[in-house]
Amino acid sequence: MVHLSSLLLKKYHGGHVVIRLALAGHKQANRPFYRIVAAYNKRARDGRYIEQLGSYDPLPNIYNEKLVSFNFDRLKYWIGCGAHPTKPVAKLLGLAGFFPLHPMTITEAERQRVQTEKTETNTDMCQVTLDNTQVTI
């Protein structure tokens, strides 16, 4: 990968830039909020980052929405400079449409669908047997 951005600041040798979720406001318990951030690989998760590229709120709001924001311009720049996005960031971007849909998102959705169908058929079977027994009675 071509490291176009010079690794200044803290003199890292052999480190690379990642785009990941950093927990913001971690002094508050039971209320997570993530910042989508470009940082060096070896830095702490919530430590110093190079640039903030967006945010992600995992708890749904009053309209049952989970809000995500991205700065696509700077994101393109960092990926062009050779930054690696992490799995959750890649999944979010896939859902947003910027990246292709992550394979695991599709497989997880399929599994979920199979699960719900199974539980539905189970309940239907239970319902049917109950009706049968009632009829017999």
Residue numbers at the binding site for another protein (CB under 8 A): 2, 4, 76-77, 79-82, 99-100, 102-103, 106-107, 110
Q: Minimum Å distance from CB 61 to another protein?
A: 26
Q: Using DSSP bridges, classify how beta strands 17-23 and 34-40 pair: parallel, antiparallel or unpaired.
A: antiparallel
Three-state SS string over 40-76 comes to ECCCCCCCCCCEEEEEECCCCCCCCCCCEEECHHHHH
* Nearer to another protein among residue 8 and residue 137 (C-beta): 8
* Nearer to another protein among residue 48 and residue 118 (C-beta): 118
Sign of CA dihedral 8, 2, 13, 44: positive
Q: Minimum Å distance from CB 59 to another protein?
A: 19
Q: Minimum Å distance from CB 44 to another protein?
A: 18
Rounded to whole angstroms, the Cα distance separating 55 from 37 reads 8
* Nearer to another protein among residue 15 and residue 94 (C-beta): 94
* Nearer to another protein among residue 45 and residue 48 (C-beta): 45
| Backbone φ, ψ for residue 5 (5° rounding) | -80, 130
Q: Minimum Å distance from CB 35 to another protein?
A: 22
